[in-house]
Structure 1
Amino acid sequence: MLRWLLVTFLALLLINGLRPWLTKLGFGKLPGDFSFRLFGREWFIPLASTVVLSLLATWLSKLI
């Protein structure tokens, strides 16, 4: 359980760090992507964009 919590926390930090680059590509603007301010910092949780990227990665892996 602790391992998954740590992985989730690190993934959120990575996504927040890559947010400016992802928004330039158009991710983060889908209806299931959340952005909120907590403890003076803006957090970004791209649920819908993650699903789209996962489906794209699965499709590419099946082609190869």
Structure 2
Amino acid sequence: MKRKLIFGLALVLALTGITLGILVVVTAHDSANNLSPLAASASMGAVLLILVYSRLRKADQADRE
């Protein structure tokens, strides 16, 4: 249960960061300086999601063995 909660929270944060990054890229064309913080949060959200997912997969494999 705790793992599912952590994974769900990481998924929500990652998707929020990715969505904000995409929205900023689509809507703001005037300055590249405005794009960098949200683009960085989008990429960090994706990295966080991948890391949490791989940790959960390893933990599930260890539980099965």
**Greater relative contact order (Cα 8 A, min sep 6): structure 1 or 2?**
2
Q: Give the TM-score category using the shorter length.
A: 0.3 to 0.5
Give the structure-1-normalised TM-score: 0.37
Comparing both structures, which one devotes a greater share of its residues to helix? 2
Q: Hey, which of these two has a bigger chunk of strand by percent?
A: 1
TM-score, with length taken from structure 2:
0.37
